[in-house]
Amino acid sequence: MFTPRLAVFDMDGTLLDSVPDLAACSRELLEICHLPPLTDAEVRTMIGNGVPTLVQRVLDAGHKKLKAITSQPYVLPFTKAEAVQKFMELYTPRATRLSRLFPGTQQALEQLKSAGWLLAVCTNKPEVAAQRILDNFGLTSLFAAIGGGDSFAAHKPDPAHLLGTIKQAGGEVSRSVMIGDMPPDCGAATGAGVRFVFAAWGYGSSALAAQADAQAGSMMDIPSVLPVLLPA
């Protein structure tokens, strides 16, 4: 039985420029915790390993800034788990208030879909947030599966996350490609035995290109890069 080719996309830094909203919510959380704010550029370096890691990095950076200006002891007003919950309460309703799709994203996805590709998302962002973002941009119907960071027992860079997303989408490993911008994307693809395309327009270091099977300069290049890497 013929299985269509499957393109699996990371979300933050690949489909979506999410820094503006993630940074704004990080600053709101820091304010609640009575910690100094972070810039968009600072938060950008913390994205890619899921919300719990992002929140931990944000709180650590805020605490470090506080220690630089006062010697007073500091105690977080709630647990780390509660901080993550608070962040999601701030972020989920406003995930697309300032964030935008990268140029050419919708056109590229529609072009791939028209060419017979299956499409999926594999993101460390919680599934409910990823689903809401795709709904808000009118993209949900293009995707056969949305594998969030909490959709399976593991998340990127664990290959089980990507493998679960591929299975959910009805794809096959040998006919799948992962497109992403960060080491967790590359790590999941390598561990799963899936070809990896480095999204050079995203948040990751250009050094990651050396570990990729191919790279693309923009989402608009993806429809031409993928068929070369994985012919019909």
Number of H-type helices and E-type strands within the chain: 9, 8
CATH homologous superfamily, domain 6-17+100-229: HAD superfamily/HAD-like (3.40.50.1000)
Side-chain half-sphere of 182: how many Cα atoms within 13 Å?
Answer: 21
Domain boundaries, the chain: 6-17+100-229, 19-94
pLDDT single digits (tens) 2-45: 889 999 999 999 999 999 999 999 999 999 999 999 999 999 99
Q: What is the pTM of this model?
A: 0.94
**H-helix or E-strand containing 197?**
strand 195-199
Six-digit token string for 11 = 């979300």
Please give the CATH topology (third level) of the domain spanning 19-94.
Answer: DNA polymerase; domain 1 (1.10.150)
DSSP string, 54-83: HHHHHHHHHHHHHHHH--S----SS-HHHH
**Active-site residue 10, yes or no?**
yes
Catalytic residue among 10, 12, 17, 181: 10
- The sign one gets for the Cα dihedral 38, 184, 176, 199 is positive
pLDDT band at 48 (very low <50, low <70, confident <90, very high): confident
d(CA 44, CA 4): 35
Q: What is the CA radius of gyration of the chain?
A: 18
pLDDT single digits (tens) 112-141: 999 999 999 999 999 999 999 999 999 999
